[in-house]
């Protein structure tokens, strides 16, 4: 069974990470890491690790996570990943994904992006299997509400990860 890790860092939109986690199909084994700044009501759920638990399984490449999402990615977490800093479980899991060349999907959330953040994104985008996929909404799928917009984003992140989904209406698809 493929293993998927979802990380929620302290940018605006932590609910997107939670929705993404909940929408992962049952055939995958899923795990969640929440940073202190993003921690809300999640701790009771299964397979949730605390970000300061640096000895939790996702800290090791041998645990075999196949896909890592960091949704949303704060500029702080982005910068650490770009520099190879692994000072908590999320940044360590990102380093593991990069060294093992597994898929790492980052959703940086800030507006506007600073030059530093843009340079960090460019640097990371050059690494195999790292995807810079900010939560940028579309209009062609005629979203009726924020829920539709979020499903579009999660569907796009699943597409990058290779997770089959029908979460949004694709361009050219019949009404």
Ligand X SMILES: Cc1cc2nc3c(=O)[nH]c(=O)nc-3n(C[C@H](O)[C@H](O)[C@H](O)COP(=O)(O)O)c2cc1C
Q: Would you tell me which residues interact with ligand X (CB under 6 A)?
A: 9-12, 35, 37-38, 74-77, 109-110
Nearer to ligand X, 6 or 75 (CB): 75
Q: Quote the least distance from Cβ 148 to ligand X, whole Å.
A: 21
Give the residue with the Cβ less far from ligand X, 108 or 155: 108
Q: How far is the CB of 107 from ligand X (least distance, A)?
A: 10
Closer residue to ligand X, CB minimum distance, 124 or 163: 124
Quick one: 37 or 165, whose CB is closer to ligand X?
Answer: 37
**Cα 61 from Cα 59, distance rounded (Å):** 7
* Closest residue to ligand X: CB criterion: 10
Please state the closest distance from residue 61 (CB atom) to ligand X, in A.
22
Instruction: Look up residue 147 and give its DSSP letter.
Output: H
Inter-CA distances, 115 with 70, 79, 144, Å: 21, 12, 34
Tally of CB atoms within 10 A around 80: 21
Task: Please say which residue, 34 or 167, places its beta carbon nearer to ligand X.
Answer: 34
**Residue 118 CB contacts under 8 Å (≥ 6 apart), including other chains:** none
CB neighbourhood size of 132 (10 A)? 18
Tell me how far, at minimum, the Cβ of 164 lies from ligand X, in Å.
Answer: 30
Task: Report, in Å, the least distance between residue 39 CB and ligand X.
Answer: 9
DSSP code per residue over 16-54: HHHHHHHHS-TTSEEEEEE-GGG-SSGGGSTTEEETT-T
Nearest to 69 by CA among 40, 28, 41: 28
């Amino acid at each position: 069974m493929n293993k998927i890790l979802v990380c929620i860092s302290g940018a605006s939109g932590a609910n997107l990470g939670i929705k993404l986690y909940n929408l992962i199909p049952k055939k995958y084994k899923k795990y969640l890491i929440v940073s202190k700044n993003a921690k809300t009501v999640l701790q009771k759920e299964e397979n949730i690790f605390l970000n300061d638990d640096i000895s939790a399984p996702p800290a090791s490449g041998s645990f075999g996570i196949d896909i890592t999402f960091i949704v949303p990615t704060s500029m702080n977490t982005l910068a650490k990943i770009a520099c190879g800093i692994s000072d908590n479980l999320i940044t360590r899991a990102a380093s593991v994904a990069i060294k093992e060349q597994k898929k790492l999907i980052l959703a940086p959330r800030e507006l506007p992006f600073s030059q530093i953040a843009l340079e960090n994104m460019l640097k990371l985008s050059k690494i195999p299997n790292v995807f810079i996929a900010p939560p940028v909404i579309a209009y062609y799928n005629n979203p009726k509400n924020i829920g539709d917009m979020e499903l579009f984003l999660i569907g796009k992140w699943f597409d990058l990860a290779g997770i089959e989904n029908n979460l949004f209406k694709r361009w050219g698809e019949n009404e």
